[in-house]
Amino acid sequence: MPIKASTPSSVLLVCLGNICRSPTAEEIFRQQAAIAGLAMKVDSAGTGDWHIGHAPDVRAQRHAKAHGYNISKLVARQVSADDFRKFDLILAMDAQNLADLQVIKDSISDTDGKLAKLALFSEEDPTYSGDDVPDPYQGDSDAFEEVIERIESSAQAWIESWKTA
């Protein structure tokens, strides 16, 4: 279900540990939104708690930097119930994280109907529509390159969808 709505003022990008995909997506999304002239808050988090307080994976940092993205200062954190009130849109890197986010959202009292909308990160992307952004953590260099390619494509697709909405 596409979310072609007005441009959100805040977007949260979510993966499992918040050390590979979502911090990379945070910086790519932030840069692409700025280039498009969209003023929005962009952040990232993980559904798991294993890496809270850690910097992004060094391999993710190295590949991001090679593409002009500096993620070295980002710090992993876990999604909180409060995020569903602070953000307009929460984008999950894969179907499992989307399902986990839906469980959290369903557990929150929504008396005013203002909880964040949830969607798969690739939802608006005609190239990767409905596909997971694969977790590169157990992969090789090519896996991290693929993540950057997919994230750039899907971030641009979201921005284009808001420009044409």
| Residue partners of 100: CB distance under 8 A and separation at least 6 | 47, 92
Q: Are 109 and 123 in contact (CB under 8 A)?
A: no
- Distance separating alpha carbons of residues 67 and 25, to the nearest angstrom: 12
Which 8-state DSSP code applies to residue 88?
A: S
3-state secondary structure of 161: helix
Amino acid letter, 91: L
Residue with tokens 């399902």: 99
Question: Which residues participate in catalysis according to the annotation?
Answer: 15, 21, 135
Termini Cα distance of the chain: 15
3-state secondary structure of 14: strand
